[in-house]
Amino acid sequence: MHDTLLLFGATGDLAQRYLFPSLLRLLTDGLLAEDFRIRAMALSAHDTDAFHDILRPRLQQAMPQAPIEDIQSLLRRIDYRSVDLRDVDSVADAVSDLADRRCVSYLAIPPGLYISTCEGLAKGGVLAAPHRLMLEKPIGSDSESAEQIITTIAQWIDEDRVFRLDHYLGKAAVQNLIALRFGNTLLEAVWNRNYIESVHILVAESEGVDGRDAYYARSGALRDMVQSHILQLLCLVAMEPPASLEADRIRDEKVKVLRSLRPLEARTAARDSIRGRYTAGSINGQPAQAYQPPEGSEVETFAGVTAHIDNWRWSGVPFHLVTGKRLPERTSRVVVTLKPVTHWLFERPTRSQAAPNRLVFQLQPQENIQLGLMSSLAGPEWGALELQPLELELSVPTGLHRRIAYERLFLDAFNGNHALFVRDDEVRAAWAWIDSVADAWKAAQLPLEPYPAGQWGPAEAATFLPQELEAAARGDKA
Protein backbone atom coordinates (compact mmCIF):
# COMPACT_ATOMS: atom_id res chain seq x y z
CA MET A 1 0.00 0.00 0.00
CA HIS A 2 1.24 3.49 -0.85
CA ASP A 3 1.86 5.63 2.21
CA THR A 4 1.91 9.26 1.04
CA LEU A 5 -0.80 11.43 -0.55
CA LEU A 6 0.16 14.61 -2.39
CA LEU A 7 -3.14 16.50 -2.52
CA PHE A 8 -3.33 19.47 -4.88
CA GLY A 9 -6.30 21.82 -4.53
CA ALA A 10 -6.38 21.24 -0.77
CA THR A 11 -8.31 24.43 0.00
CA GLY A 12 -10.99 23.73 -2.61
CA ASP A 13 -14.55 22.60 -1.96
CA LEU A 14 -14.00 19.04 -3.19
CA ALA A 15 -11.05 18.47 -0.87
CA GLN A 16 -12.64 20.12 2.15
CA ARG A 17 -16.10 18.53 1.78
CA TYR A 18 -15.23 15.05 0.56
CA LEU A 19 -11.56 14.13 0.32
CA PHE A 20 -10.31 14.97 3.81
CA PRO A 21 -13.45 13.52 5.53
CA SER A 22 -12.97 10.35 3.48
CA LEU A 23 -9.37 10.10 4.63
CA LEU A 24 -10.50 10.62 8.22
CA ARG A 25 -12.93 7.69 7.95
CA LEU A 26 -10.25 5.46 6.47
CA LEU A 27 -7.82 6.43 9.22
CA THR A 28 -10.43 5.82 11.92
CA ASP A 29 -11.11 2.36 10.48
CA GLY A 30 -7.41 1.49 10.38
CA LEU A 31 -7.29 1.22 6.58
CA LEU A 32 -4.36 3.55 5.91
CA ALA A 33 -0.68 2.73 6.21
CA GLU A 34 0.63 3.14 9.75
CA ASP A 35 3.02 5.93 8.72
CA PHE A 36 0.58 7.51 6.23
CA ARG A 37 1.31 11.16 5.42
CA ILE A 38 -0.50 13.89 3.48
CA ARG A 39 1.05 16.92 1.89
CA ALA A 40 -1.72 19.43 1.21
CA MET A 41 -1.01 22.02 -1.49
CA ALA A 42 -2.81 25.05 -2.92
CA LEU A 43 -2.07 28.61 -3.94
CA SER A 44 -3.28 30.19 -0.67
CA ALA A 45 -0.41 31.48 1.46
CA HIS A 46 -1.10 29.51 4.64
CA ASP A 47 1.33 27.71 6.88
CA THR A 48 0.54 24.26 8.27
CA ASP A 49 -0.98 25.52 11.53
CA ALA A 50 -3.27 27.95 9.71
CA PHE A 51 -4.36 25.19 7.33
CA HIS A 52 -5.15 22.92 10.30
CA ASP A 53 -7.30 25.71 11.75
CA ILE A 54 -9.25 25.87 8.49
CA LEU A 55 -9.62 22.11 8.10
CA ARG A 56 -10.45 21.16 11.70
CA PRO A 57 -14.00 22.66 11.77
CA ARG A 58 -14.74 21.24 8.32
CA LEU A 59 -13.87 17.75 9.58
CA GLN A 60 -15.96 18.26 12.71
CA GLN A 61 -18.89 19.40 10.58
CA ALA A 62 -18.56 16.48 8.16
CA MET A 63 -18.11 13.88 10.92
CA PRO A 64 -19.64 15.19 14.15
CA GLN A 65 -19.39 11.72 15.69
CA ALA A 66 -15.63 11.42 15.09
CA PRO A 67 -13.54 11.40 18.29
CA ILE A 68 -11.40 14.52 18.56
CA GLU A 69 -8.30 12.33 18.93
CA ASP A 70 -8.94 10.84 15.48
CA ILE A 71 -9.22 14.32 13.97
CA GLN A 72 -6.01 15.33 15.70
CA SER A 73 -4.32 12.17 14.47
CA LEU A 74 -5.21 13.05 10.89
CA LEU A 75 -4.09 16.65 11.27
CA ARG A 76 -0.71 15.53 12.63
CA ARG A 77 -0.18 13.64 9.38
CA ILE A 78 -0.90 16.72 7.23
CA ASP A 79 1.56 19.46 6.36
CA TYR A 80 0.73 22.31 4.01
CA ARG A 81 2.69 24.04 1.23
CA SER A 82 1.70 27.07 -0.83
CA VAL A 83 2.30 26.22 -4.50
CA ASP A 84 1.82 28.01 -7.81
CA LEU A 85 0.62 25.20 -10.05
CA ARG A 86 1.54 27.11 -13.21
CA ASP A 87 5.15 27.18 -12.06
CA VAL A 88 6.88 23.85 -12.69
CA ASP A 89 9.72 24.62 -10.27
CA SER A 90 7.26 25.62 -7.51
CA VAL A 91 5.56 22.22 -7.79
CA ALA A 92 8.87 20.34 -7.93
CA ASP A 93 10.22 22.13 -4.87
CA ALA A 94 7.05 21.33 -2.91
CA VAL A 95 7.27 17.55 -3.42
CA SER A 96 10.89 16.55 -4.07
CA ASP A 97 11.65 15.78 -0.41
CA LEU A 98 9.01 12.99 -0.52
CA ALA A 99 10.35 11.22 -3.61
CA ASP A 100 11.79 8.38 -1.50
CA ARG A 101 8.30 7.44 -0.25
CA ARG A 102 5.50 5.69 -2.18
CA CYS A 103 3.43 8.68 -3.30
CA VAL A 104 -0.01 9.06 -4.85
CA SER A 105 -0.56 12.53 -6.32
CA TYR A 106 -4.23 13.62 -6.39
CA LEU A 107 -5.05 16.54 -8.71
CA ALA A 108 -8.29 18.09 -7.43
CA ILE A 109 -7.68 21.07 -9.69
CA PRO A 110 -8.97 22.38 -13.06
CA PRO A 111 -7.78 20.29 -16.04
CA GLY A 112 -6.05 23.35 -17.47
CA LEU A 113 -3.46 22.95 -14.69
CA TYR A 114 -2.85 19.22 -15.18
CA ILE A 115 0.09 19.48 -17.57
CA SER A 116 2.13 22.07 -15.68
CA THR A 117 1.46 20.31 -12.37
CA CYS A 118 2.48 16.91 -13.75
CA GLU A 119 5.62 18.36 -15.27
CA GLY A 120 6.50 19.68 -11.82
CA LEU A 121 5.73 16.30 -10.25
CA ALA A 122 8.01 14.60 -12.77
CA LYS A 123 10.78 17.12 -12.14
CA GLY A 124 10.38 16.54 -8.39
CA GLY A 125 10.76 12.78 -8.88
CA VAL A 126 7.28 11.66 -7.80
CA LEU A 127 5.92 10.33 -11.11
CA ALA A 128 8.58 7.67 -11.65
CA ALA A 129 7.70 4.12 -10.59
CA PRO A 130 6.28 3.20 -8.13
CA HIS A 131 4.54 6.58 -7.67
CA ARG A 132 0.93 6.95 -8.87
CA LEU A 133 -1.31 9.74 -10.17
CA MET A 134 -5.03 10.38 -9.56
CA LEU A 135 -6.82 12.77 -11.93
CA GLU A 136 -10.28 14.22 -11.32
CA LYS A 137 -12.71 14.46 -14.21
CA PRO A 138 -13.08 16.12 -16.60
CA ILE A 139 -10.01 15.18 -18.61
CA GLY A 140 -10.09 18.20 -20.90
CA SER A 141 -13.09 19.91 -22.45
CA ASP A 142 -13.18 18.14 -25.83
CA SER A 143 -11.27 15.52 -27.80
CA GLU A 144 -8.41 17.84 -28.68
CA SER A 145 -7.72 19.05 -25.14
CA ALA A 146 -8.19 15.55 -23.70
CA GLU A 147 -5.68 14.14 -26.19
CA GLN A 148 -3.18 16.82 -25.28
CA ILE A 149 -3.49 16.02 -21.57
CA ILE A 150 -3.30 12.25 -22.09
CA THR A 151 -0.32 12.25 -24.46
CA THR A 152 1.66 14.88 -22.55
CA ILE A 153 1.26 13.19 -19.17
CA ALA A 154 2.15 9.85 -20.77
CA GLN A 155 5.68 11.20 -21.26
CA TRP A 156 6.20 11.16 -17.50
CA ILE A 157 4.10 8.25 -16.15
CA ASP A 158 2.91 4.90 -17.49
CA GLU A 159 -0.80 4.27 -18.02
CA ASP A 160 -0.86 1.47 -15.44
CA ARG A 161 -0.02 4.01 -12.71
CA VAL A 162 -2.64 6.60 -13.74
CA PHE A 163 -6.02 6.54 -11.96
CA ARG A 164 -8.65 8.76 -13.62
CA LEU A 165 -11.62 9.29 -11.34
CA ASP A 166 -15.29 9.43 -12.04
CA HIS A 167 -16.61 9.32 -8.49
CA TYR A 168 -19.88 7.72 -9.66
CA LEU A 169 -17.94 4.51 -10.23
CA GLY A 170 -17.10 4.43 -6.52
CA LYS A 171 -20.77 4.38 -5.48
CA ALA A 172 -21.94 1.01 -4.17
CA ALA A 173 -25.26 1.35 -6.00
CA VAL A 174 -23.47 1.88 -9.32
CA GLN A 175 -21.21 -1.13 -8.78
CA ASN A 176 -24.37 -3.10 -8.03
CA LEU A 177 -25.43 -2.71 -11.67
CA ILE A 178 -22.69 -5.18 -12.60
CA ALA A 179 -23.70 -7.56 -9.82
CA LEU A 180 -27.39 -7.52 -10.76
CA ARG A 181 -26.77 -7.89 -14.49
CA PHE A 182 -24.20 -10.65 -14.48
CA GLY A 183 -25.13 -12.41 -11.25
CA ASN A 184 -28.77 -13.13 -12.09
CA THR A 185 -30.10 -15.32 -14.90
CA LEU A 186 -33.47 -13.57 -14.71
CA LEU A 187 -31.96 -10.28 -15.85
CA GLU A 188 -29.20 -11.38 -18.19
CA ALA A 189 -31.61 -13.57 -20.15
CA VAL A 190 -33.73 -10.57 -21.19
CA TRP A 191 -30.97 -7.95 -21.35
CA ASN A 192 -31.11 -7.27 -25.08
CA ARG A 193 -33.11 -5.73 -27.93
CA ASN A 194 -35.54 -8.66 -28.08
CA TYR A 195 -37.07 -7.83 -24.71
CA ILE A 196 -36.10 -4.26 -23.81
CA GLU A 197 -38.08 -1.35 -25.26
CA SER A 198 -36.02 1.57 -23.96
CA VAL A 199 -33.57 2.71 -21.30
CA HIS A 200 -33.67 6.02 -19.46
CA ILE A 201 -30.68 7.34 -17.51
CA LEU A 202 -31.45 10.41 -15.42
CA VAL A 203 -29.06 12.41 -13.24
CA ALA A 204 -31.01 15.34 -11.77
CA GLU A 205 -29.69 18.05 -9.48
CA SER A 206 -31.76 20.50 -7.46
CA GLU A 207 -28.74 22.75 -6.93
CA GLY A 208 -27.81 25.44 -9.41
CA VAL A 209 -24.54 26.52 -10.94
CA ASP A 210 -23.77 28.61 -7.82
CA GLY A 211 -20.08 28.79 -7.05
CA ARG A 212 -18.98 27.10 -10.30
CA ASP A 213 -19.75 29.91 -12.72
CA ALA A 214 -16.31 30.12 -14.33
CA TYR A 215 -16.10 26.37 -14.93
CA TYR A 216 -19.72 25.95 -15.97
CA ALA A 217 -19.60 28.80 -18.47
CA ARG A 218 -17.08 26.69 -20.41
CA SER A 219 -18.62 23.26 -19.95
CA GLY A 220 -22.39 23.11 -19.55
CA ALA A 221 -24.48 20.05 -18.73
CA LEU A 222 -23.32 18.01 -21.73
CA ARG A 223 -19.62 18.18 -20.93
CA ASP A 224 -20.01 18.28 -17.16
CA MET A 225 -22.39 15.36 -16.60
CA VAL A 226 -23.21 13.44 -19.79
CA GLN A 227 -19.56 13.00 -20.79
CA SER A 228 -18.65 11.49 -17.44
CA HIS A 229 -21.30 10.17 -15.05
CA ILE A 230 -24.05 9.37 -17.55
CA LEU A 231 -21.83 7.69 -20.14
CA GLN A 232 -20.27 5.58 -17.38
CA LEU A 233 -23.74 4.44 -16.31
CA LEU A 234 -24.63 3.72 -19.94
CA CYS A 235 -21.52 1.55 -20.26
CA LEU A 236 -22.39 -0.52 -17.17
CA VAL A 237 -25.94 -1.03 -18.41
CA ALA A 238 -25.02 -1.85 -22.01
CA MET A 239 -21.64 -3.62 -21.96
CA GLU A 240 -21.16 -7.26 -22.84
CA PRO A 241 -20.22 -9.68 -20.04
CA PRO A 242 -16.50 -9.29 -19.36
CA ALA A 243 -14.34 -12.42 -19.35
CA SER A 244 -13.51 -11.69 -15.72
CA LEU A 245 -13.71 -8.89 -13.15
CA GLU A 246 -10.07 -7.98 -13.79
CA ALA A 247 -9.85 -4.24 -14.37
CA ASP A 248 -8.87 -4.23 -18.04
CA ARG A 249 -11.45 -6.84 -19.00
CA ILE A 250 -14.21 -4.62 -17.61
CA ARG A 251 -12.76 -1.53 -19.26
CA ASP A 252 -12.37 -3.33 -22.60
CA GLU A 253 -16.14 -3.91 -22.70
CA LYS A 254 -16.93 -0.33 -21.71
CA VAL A 255 -14.79 0.99 -24.56
CA LYS A 256 -16.66 -1.22 -27.03
CA VAL A 257 -19.95 0.38 -25.98
CA LEU A 258 -18.60 3.91 -26.36
CA ARG A 259 -17.21 3.12 -29.80
CA SER A 260 -20.60 1.71 -30.83
CA LEU A 261 -22.48 4.93 -30.04
CA ARG A 262 -23.97 6.40 -33.19
CA PRO A 263 -22.73 10.00 -33.67
CA LEU A 264 -25.46 12.62 -33.45
CA GLU A 265 -26.10 14.40 -36.74
CA ALA A 266 -27.34 17.93 -37.33
CA ARG A 267 -30.34 16.69 -39.33
CA THR A 268 -31.63 14.67 -36.35
CA ALA A 269 -30.43 16.94 -33.54
CA ALA A 270 -33.84 18.58 -32.95
CA ARG A 271 -35.55 15.18 -32.77
CA ASP A 272 -32.96 13.31 -30.73
CA SER A 273 -31.77 15.99 -28.33
CA ILE A 274 -32.76 19.06 -26.36
CA ARG A 275 -30.87 21.73 -24.47
CA GLY A 276 -32.22 24.20 -21.94
CA ARG A 277 -31.30 26.79 -19.34
CA TYR A 278 -33.11 27.47 -16.09
CA THR A 279 -34.85 30.75 -15.40
CA ALA A 280 -36.09 32.09 -12.08
CA GLY A 281 -38.42 29.79 -10.16
CA SER A 282 -38.71 28.00 -6.85
CA ILE A 283 -37.67 24.67 -5.35
CA ASN A 284 -39.42 23.34 -2.23
CA GLY A 285 -41.00 26.74 -1.75
CA GLN A 286 -37.66 28.56 -1.84
CA PRO A 287 -37.00 31.12 -4.58
CA ALA A 288 -34.24 30.30 -7.06
CA GLN A 289 -32.60 32.84 -9.32
CA ALA A 290 -32.09 32.37 -13.03
CA TYR A 291 -28.70 31.25 -14.30
CA GLN A 292 -26.89 34.21 -15.80
CA PRO A 293 -23.71 33.07 -17.54
CA PRO A 294 -21.06 35.50 -18.74
CA GLU A 295 -22.02 37.46 -21.82
CA GLY A 296 -21.58 35.42 -24.96
CA SER A 297 -21.82 32.03 -23.22
CA GLU A 298 -24.30 29.64 -24.80
CA VAL A 299 -23.98 26.81 -22.27
CA GLU A 300 -26.94 24.72 -21.26
CA THR A 301 -27.99 23.70 -17.75
CA PHE A 302 -30.24 20.93 -19.09
CA ALA A 303 -29.36 18.33 -21.70
CA GLY A 304 -31.34 15.45 -23.10
CA VAL A 305 -29.95 13.14 -25.79
CA THR A 306 -31.32 9.94 -27.27
CA ALA A 307 -28.34 7.70 -27.87
CA HIS A 308 -28.28 4.65 -30.15
CA ILE A 309 -25.81 1.80 -29.70
CA ASP A 310 -25.14 0.18 -33.04
CA ASN A 311 -24.38 -3.40 -32.10
CA TRP A 312 -26.27 -6.68 -32.02
CA ARG A 313 -27.45 -6.49 -28.42
CA TRP A 314 -28.92 -2.96 -28.54
CA SER A 315 -29.83 -2.24 -32.17
CA GLY A 316 -33.09 -0.26 -32.20
CA VAL A 317 -33.21 0.37 -28.43
CA PRO A 318 -33.16 4.09 -27.55
CA PHE A 319 -31.10 5.19 -24.55
CA HIS A 320 -32.53 8.47 -23.29
CA LEU A 321 -29.82 10.38 -21.39
CA VAL A 322 -30.97 13.34 -19.29
CA THR A 323 -29.32 15.68 -16.81
CA GLY A 324 -30.15 19.11 -15.50
CA LYS A 325 -29.67 21.65 -12.74
CA ARG A 326 -32.40 23.30 -10.66
CA LEU A 327 -34.73 20.35 -11.18
CA PRO A 328 -37.34 19.52 -8.50
CA GLU A 329 -35.19 16.96 -6.70
CA ARG A 330 -31.76 15.41 -6.57
CA THR A 331 -32.01 11.95 -8.00
CA SER A 332 -30.12 9.49 -10.17
CA ARG A 333 -31.88 6.51 -11.68
CA VAL A 334 -31.74 4.00 -14.50
CA VAL A 335 -35.13 2.90 -15.84
CA VAL A 336 -35.27 -0.19 -18.05
CA THR A 337 -38.64 -0.60 -19.80
CA LEU A 338 -39.45 -4.01 -21.24
CA LYS A 339 -41.50 -4.69 -24.34
CA PRO A 340 -45.17 -5.69 -23.93
CA VAL A 341 -46.20 -9.32 -23.93
CA THR A 342 -46.82 -10.77 -27.38
CA HIS A 343 -50.54 -11.52 -26.88
CA TRP A 344 -52.78 -9.65 -24.39
CA LEU A 345 -55.48 -11.83 -22.78
CA PHE A 346 -57.15 -9.53 -20.28
CA GLU A 347 -60.28 -7.38 -20.41
CA ARG A 348 -59.09 -4.58 -18.18
CA PRO A 349 -56.99 -2.63 -18.79
CA THR A 350 -56.83 -2.73 -22.55
CA ARG A 351 -53.50 -3.60 -24.09
CA SER A 352 -52.77 0.03 -24.85
CA GLN A 353 -53.47 1.07 -21.24
CA ALA A 354 -51.41 -1.65 -19.57
CA ALA A 355 -48.37 -0.37 -17.68
CA PRO A 356 -45.16 -1.84 -19.10
CA ASN A 357 -42.85 -3.95 -16.99
CA ARG A 358 -40.12 -1.68 -15.71
CA LEU A 359 -36.98 -2.19 -13.69
CA VAL A 360 -35.90 0.96 -11.85
CA PHE A 361 -32.45 1.25 -10.31
CA GLN A 362 -32.50 4.21 -7.91
CA LEU A 363 -28.89 5.21 -7.28
CA GLN A 364 -29.33 8.34 -5.18
CA PRO A 365 -30.28 9.88 -2.84
CA GLN A 366 -31.09 6.40 -1.55
CA GLU A 367 -30.44 2.99 -3.08
CA ASN A 368 -33.56 1.20 -4.20
CA ILE A 369 -34.69 -1.25 -6.86
CA GLN A 370 -38.27 -1.51 -8.13
CA LEU A 371 -39.80 -4.06 -10.44
CA GLY A 372 -43.10 -2.99 -11.98
CA LEU A 373 -45.45 -5.84 -12.91
CA MET A 374 -49.10 -6.23 -13.84
CA SER A 375 -51.04 -8.36 -11.34
CA SER A 376 -54.60 -9.27 -10.39
CA LEU A 377 -53.51 -9.17 -6.72
CA ALA A 378 -53.54 -5.39 -6.92
CA GLY A 379 -57.13 -5.31 -8.23
CA PRO A 380 -60.46 -6.36 -6.67
CA GLU A 381 -60.48 -9.99 -5.58
CA TRP A 382 -63.53 -10.81 -7.69
CA GLY A 383 -61.95 -9.36 -10.84
CA ALA A 384 -59.42 -11.99 -11.86
CA LEU A 385 -59.36 -10.56 -15.38
CA GLU A 386 -58.65 -7.04 -14.16
CA LEU A 387 -54.97 -6.24 -13.74
CA GLN A 388 -53.38 -3.37 -11.89
CA PRO A 389 -49.75 -2.24 -11.68
CA LEU A 390 -47.88 -3.83 -8.79
CA GLU A 391 -44.54 -2.46 -7.64
CA LEU A 392 -42.17 -4.94 -6.04
CA GLU A 393 -39.66 -3.20 -3.78
CA LEU A 394 -36.21 -4.73 -3.80
CA SER A 395 -34.57 -2.08 -1.65
CA VAL A 396 -31.39 -2.83 0.27
CA PRO A 397 -31.60 -3.13 4.07
CA THR A 398 -31.28 0.18 5.87
CA GLY A 399 -28.49 0.86 8.31
CA LEU A 400 -25.75 -0.82 6.28
CA HIS A 401 -22.38 0.88 6.57
CA ARG A 402 -21.49 1.94 3.05
CA ARG A 403 -18.31 3.74 2.24
CA ILE A 404 -18.81 6.90 0.24
CA ALA A 405 -17.36 6.85 -3.25
CA TYR A 406 -14.11 8.65 -2.49
CA GLU A 407 -13.23 6.26 0.34
CA ARG A 408 -13.46 3.30 -2.01
CA LEU A 409 -11.53 5.08 -4.75
CA PHE A 410 -8.75 6.15 -2.38
CA LEU A 411 -8.34 2.58 -1.16
CA ASP A 412 -8.24 1.19 -4.68
CA ALA A 413 -5.65 3.74 -5.82
CA PHE A 414 -3.47 3.17 -2.74
CA ASN A 415 -3.61 -0.58 -3.43
CA GLY A 416 -3.30 -0.40 -7.23
CA ASN A 417 -6.75 -1.66 -8.27
CA HIS A 418 -7.84 -0.03 -11.56
CA ALA A 419 -11.32 -1.55 -11.96
CA LEU A 420 -13.23 1.59 -10.91
CA PHE A 421 -11.06 4.05 -12.82
CA VAL A 422 -11.24 5.28 -16.41
CA ARG A 423 -8.65 4.19 -18.98
CA ASP A 424 -7.21 6.56 -21.59
CA ASP A 425 -9.09 4.97 -24.51
CA GLU A 426 -12.36 5.34 -22.57
CA VAL A 427 -11.71 9.07 -22.27
CA ARG A 428 -10.99 9.34 -26.00
CA ALA A 429 -14.09 7.37 -27.01
CA ALA A 430 -16.39 9.32 -24.68
CA TRP A 431 -15.18 12.68 -25.94
CA ALA A 432 -15.51 11.58 -29.57
CA TRP A 433 -19.24 10.99 -29.08
CA ILE A 434 -19.76 14.12 -26.97
CA ASP A 435 -18.03 16.17 -29.67
CA SER A 436 -20.49 14.78 -32.23
CA VAL A 437 -23.38 16.01 -30.08
CA ALA A 438 -21.84 19.46 -29.58
CA ASP A 439 -21.03 19.74 -33.29
CA ALA A 440 -24.58 18.69 -34.25
CA TRP A 441 -26.04 21.29 -31.90
CA LYS A 442 -23.87 23.98 -33.42
CA ALA A 443 -24.61 22.99 -37.02
CA ALA A 444 -28.35 22.73 -36.36
CA GLN A 445 -28.34 25.93 -34.29
CA LEU A 446 -30.32 24.08 -31.65
CA PRO A 447 -31.88 26.72 -29.40
CA LEU A 448 -31.67 26.91 -25.62
CA GLU A 449 -35.15 26.22 -24.29
CA PRO A 450 -35.98 28.05 -21.03
CA TYR A 451 -37.42 26.24 -18.02
CA PRO A 452 -38.33 27.62 -14.58
CA ALA A 453 -36.18 26.42 -11.69
CA GLY A 454 -38.09 23.65 -9.93
CA GLN A 455 -39.53 22.11 -13.12
CA TRP A 456 -38.38 18.95 -14.92
CA GLY A 457 -36.70 20.88 -17.70
CA PRO A 458 -38.34 22.45 -20.75
CA ALA A 459 -41.80 21.19 -21.71
CA GLU A 460 -40.24 19.70 -24.87
CA ALA A 461 -38.07 17.45 -22.67
CA ALA A 462 -41.01 15.24 -21.66
CA THR A 463 -40.27 12.56 -24.25
CA PHE A 464 -36.70 12.18 -22.97
CA LEU A 465 -37.75 11.60 -19.33
CA PRO A 466 -38.86 8.38 -17.63
CA GLN A 467 -42.61 7.79 -17.93
CA GLU A 468 -43.45 8.84 -14.37
CA LEU A 469 -41.95 12.30 -15.00
CA GLU A 470 -43.40 13.00 -18.44
CA ALA A 471 -46.63 14.57 -17.19
CA ALA A 472 -44.77 16.73 -14.70
CA ALA A 473 -42.47 17.99 -17.45
CA ARG A 474 -45.44 18.91 -19.62
CA GLY A 475 -46.99 20.77 -16.70
CA ASP A 476 -49.97 18.41 -16.36
CA LYS A 477 -51.65 18.61 -12.96
CA ALA A 478 -53.11 15.13 -13.03
**What is the per-residue pLDDT across 134-155, written as a single tens digit (0 to 9) for each?**
998 889 989 999 999 999 999 9
* pLDDT number for residue 190: 92
* pLDDT number for residue 378: 52
> Is residue 131 scored above 80 in pLDDT?
yes
* pLDDT number for residue 324: 94
In this predicted structure, which of 228-232, 270-274, 292-296, 467-471 has the lowest mean pLDDT?
467-471
> Is residue 478 scored above 50 in pLDDT?
no
Whole-prediction pTM: 0.90
Higher pLDDT, residue 108 or 387: 108
Mean per-residue pLDDT over the chain, rounded: 89
Domains and CATH numbers, the chain: 4-136 (3.40.50.720), 169-403+423-474 (3.30.360.10)
**What is the per-residue pLDDT across 411-428, written as a single tens digit (0 to 9) for each?**
999 999 998 999 999 999
Task: Select which of 229, 343, 401, 418 is catalytic.
Answer: 229
* pLDDT number for residue 477: 42
> Is residue 296 scored above 70 in pLDDT?
yes
Average the pLDDT over 256-285 and give the result: 95
SS (H, E, C) the chain: CCCEEEEECCCCHHHHHHHHHHHHHHHHCCCCCCCCEEEEEECCCCCHHHHHHHHHHHHHHHCCCCCHHHHHHHHHCEEEEECCCCCHHHHHHHHHHHCCCCEEEEECCCHHHHHHHHHHHHHCCCCCCCCEEEEECCCCCCHHHHHHHHHHHCCCCCHHHEEEECHHHHCHHHHHHHHHHHCCHHHHCCCCCCCEEEEEEEEECCCCCCCCHHHHHHHHHHHHHHHHHHHHHHHHHHCCCCCCCCHHHHHHHHHHHHHHECCCCHHHHHHHEEEEEEECEEECCEEECCCCCCCCCCCCCEEEEEEEECCCCCCCCEEEEEEECCCCCCEEEEEEEECCCCCCCCCECCHHHCCCCEEEEEEECCCEEEEEEEEHHHCCCCCCCECEEEEEECCCCCCCCCCCHHHHHHHHHHHCCCCCCECHHHHHHHHHHHHHHHHHHHHHCCCEEEEECCCCCCHHHHHHCCHHHHHHHHCCCC
Is 229 marked active-site? yes
Share of the chain above pLDDT 90, in %: 65
Higher pLDDT, residue 387 or 248: 248
When pLDDT is cut at 50, 70 and 90, the band that residue 168 belongs to is: confident
